[in-house]
Amino acid sequence: MRVLRDLNSELKPLLLISVEAMAGSGSSMLYSFLMFTVILSLQEMYRAKLASTELYTILGGFISSLLFLVLLTFIGNYQETVGAKTGWGAVFIAEAVALIAASTVHRVCITTCFLFSAVLLYEVNKISGSVLSVQTSDSRSKKYSGRG
């Protein structure tokens, strides 16, 4: 437990740097949309290759889960830009689109896409929780020190 606490204290400055260096909602939305179109185009171009063997079929599911990730980023940034509340609806829409894209490659890609997407969603949630906790603790320290 002590090792995890020490590791967390070492990562805090890195998280602060990454929070300050994050792209804005508009540029992140644009980049995620461009990545979505590129990944989807390449997946459709190499659809026959991805369906040829078992390993490539698993790779096709992973590529579809990347579609889920960038589409979730796009939807989240769009909702933040318009001022709407983000929630599970964005996750369901992004997952549905990713599963439909996976179904164009192979039936097994649907299952692997769902599994990889669940893991990615867990990791994104974990990372956003740690970044949010660092932001709130940083804003509290500024508030109490009189700088905020």
DSSP code for 62? H
Give the Cα-Cα-Cα angle 16, 76, 34 (nearest 5 degrees).
95
Average pLDDT per 10 consecutive residues for the chain, totaling 148 residues: 51 51 84 97 97 97 98 94 89 98 97 98 92 74 59
Q: What sign does the CA torsion over 54, 55, 57, 61 have?
A: positive
CA distance 72 to 74: 5
Task: Give pTM, 2 decimals.
Answer: 0.78
